Amino acid sequence: MSSVLIISGSPSSTSRTERLARSIASRINAHGAEATLLDVRSLPADDLLNARFEAPSILEATARVAAADGIVVATPIYKAAYSGLLKTFLDVLPQFALRGKVVLPLATGGTVAHVLAIDYALRPVLSSLDPLHVVNGLFLLDKQITVLEDNQIQLEPEVDQRLNGVIDQFLAGLKRVASAGI
């Protein structure tokens, strides 16, 4: 069984991005992989901002990244780039932290003006961490994500279909890696 770590770069526990990350975990678990969530906002700010690589919280988070077969990165887009919270976490990861891993970038934002942020801001940083493969990401507009009374989300049907497509690509990549023994 493949293990997937979903890294949420949202500074808010009630954001659409955070809820999307939790929904992705459920979807991946339903496909037989084991998905867990790492909320970067739960890491001590001092450890992140001061790049305390040897802090227990950073070592534990880094170990979770290392142990995962695949990584999903979910972030809100602010000012045409991924969250600063996510950036501080990516900065404390070892240089080749994503080596041999399949990575799926996901982003949410308030306007289509940010649609290219995955390709121009996030993908280069993820690629610098040496993943085996970064699958096509997905940008979702906030208005395409409805928060339900039970704190679950509902996506517009077309967006839901696209999300299922990128998850399928991601899971197919994980299967290829597992069958190749990489």
* pLDDT tier, 110 (very low <50, low <70, confident <90, very high otherwise): confident
Residues 61-81: what's their mean pLDDT?
96
Residue 14 pLDDT: 87
Residue 177 pLDDT: 85
pTM: 0.95
Helix axes 84-92, 56-67, angle to 10 degrees: 80
Beta bridge partners of 75: 107
Is the per-residue pLDDT at 113 higher than 80?
no
For the chain, domain boundaries = 3-180
- Check if the beta carbon of residue 62 is closer than 8 Å to that of residue 90: no
Percentage of the chain beyond pLDDT 90 is 82
- Check if the beta carbon of residue 144 is closer than 8 Å to that of residue 107: no
Helix axes 16-30, 157-180, angle to 10 degrees: 50
Q: What is the CATH number of domain 3-180?
A: 3.40.50.360
How confident is the prediction for the chain on average, in pLDDT?
A: 93
